[in-house]
Structure 1
């Protein structure tokens, strides 16, 4: 009888550990699934409490502050545009001419329209850099400021 009692005690202890392990694994899997659901559900950050514009100017009116985050369309239109085939002809023999857009990393084709940024002279696909410059006022490659400098006020 003694060996039968030992067997029952060992069986109950082992099955208790197995149940505990199974429950722990189940809780771990459920936690991972819940975290994955919330991470992939696309929960968006709350909108800023201040109005934001991308028109390239800071304006304070009626107690609100507008933050300058990019260049306006008039400034973008003033930057030089050229075809990649033209850029190749102008820089013939110059090894520094890029073969791909630093923003999208796509190779330039002869028919691609490029935008040449003033001062730094970097070139990008027109669509790539215009999208960037509507949100930022710097060159995406060297971070040189492209924001127009205000004219100094003349003293009267």
Structure 2
């Protein structure tokens, strides 16, 4: 039986021991959110890395969603308005959560309960909406939303 594969628009990162797929339309802040989270977690002395930016190859293996980077863009991330930067990456990660960057005013104010990102792989990811461009650090928001599950 062959594994299902999908190549999607998004950014995959690892913070501590948790894999995240950042999703949303072009210009929504996926790459900036990824860089901010990776930098902040590293400043706190914990592990963090980029897996893929802009395009993410997804595979379902043993019931887990695996993210990889297409070889042509491995090690690259876009800093909107500034260009493409080279960063250290991991070759793959298991994805645990999806994140959608959101900006104020928030509509709806609260996200739907048990929201999931549908991936057409036979398994979905639970989704968090994370405020960007606010006084709250994205890592602090993640730690408040996922206190036992973040792996930091």
Q: Same fold by TM (over 0.5)?
A: no
Greater Rg by CA:
1
* TM-score computed with the length of structure 2 as normaliser: 0.19
Q: Which has the higher strand share?
A: 2
TM-score normalised to the size of structure 1? 0.18
Higher helix fraction (1 or 2): 1
